[in-house]
Amino acid sequence: MKNDKKVAARAALTKYIEENNCRKTTERFALLDAMYDIDGLFTIEELAERMAVQNFHVSRATLYNSLNLFVKLCLVVKHRFQTETKYEACCDTSNHCYQTCTICGKVTEIDLPEIAKVLYNVRLKRFRREYYSLYFYGVCQTCQARSKRKKNLKGTKKSNIDKNE
């Protein structure tokens, strides 16, 4: 399944390169493969690290240019979060819903059939829709537990002061 997507993405890139007489660089295909091997979302730094581990050194400029091209070709989805930008290899231009933690930045994809149904029926004026990405911002369970522990700690200190008074 995943390999099918990679093959489709490679085919789309080859088609674009041929039609636009671009140079067929091995870097671009190596980047595309690396992205489709990543499970879920990644930052540009994570992608660079992954390439370096494979002994494939790509310049920052090539990374940015390639990513922008992949976004344009709908082979990669760009997510702009509050704290950073993440990418996701996805060539099906389907709809996605995410929950993102405003404290640690963790992003999880969620399945919300009831929301999907509502959005499917939304009519947009003078606009041909292709797909949507929906983000819920909030605090993940781990961060909630962490802040609760902090509060409790403060609470104990405060009650000690109260006792001394």
Residue closer to Zn ion (CB basis): 17 or 103: 103
Contact between residue 115 and residue 121 where contact means Cβ atoms under 8 Å apart: no
Q: Is 41 exposed, middle or buried (0-12, 13-18, 19+ CB in 10 A)?
A: buried
Contact letters for Zn ion, residues 10-49 (x by CB under 5 A)? ----------------------------------------
Q: What is the distance between the alpha carbons of residues 41 and 35, in angstroms, rounded to a whole number?
A: 9
> What is the nearest approach in angstroms of Zn ion to the Cβ of residue 97?
18
- Interface with Zn ion includes 103 (CB under 5 A)? yes
Sheet holding 133-138, edge to edge: 107-110, 96-101, 133-138
Residue count, binding to Zn ion (CB under 5 A): 6
Give bridge partners of residue 109 from the DSSP assignment.
98
- Interface with Zn ion includes 107 (CB under 5 A)? no
Work out which of 7, 52, 104, 110 binds Zn ion, going by CB under 5 A.
104
Residue closer to Zn ion (CB basis): 15 or 40: 40
Give bridge partners of residue 88 from the DSSP assignment.
41, 77
Tokens of 8: 């489709």
Contact between residue 5 and residue 91 where contact means Cβ atoms under 8 Å apart: yes
- Interface with Zn ion includes 143 (CB under 5 A)? yes
Residue closer to Zn ion (CB basis): 11 or 104: 104
Check the annotation: does 140 bind a ligand. Answer: yes
> What is the nearest approach in angstroms of Zn ion to the Cβ of residue 38?
21
Contacting positions for Zn ion (CB under 5 A): 101, 103-104, 106, 140, 143
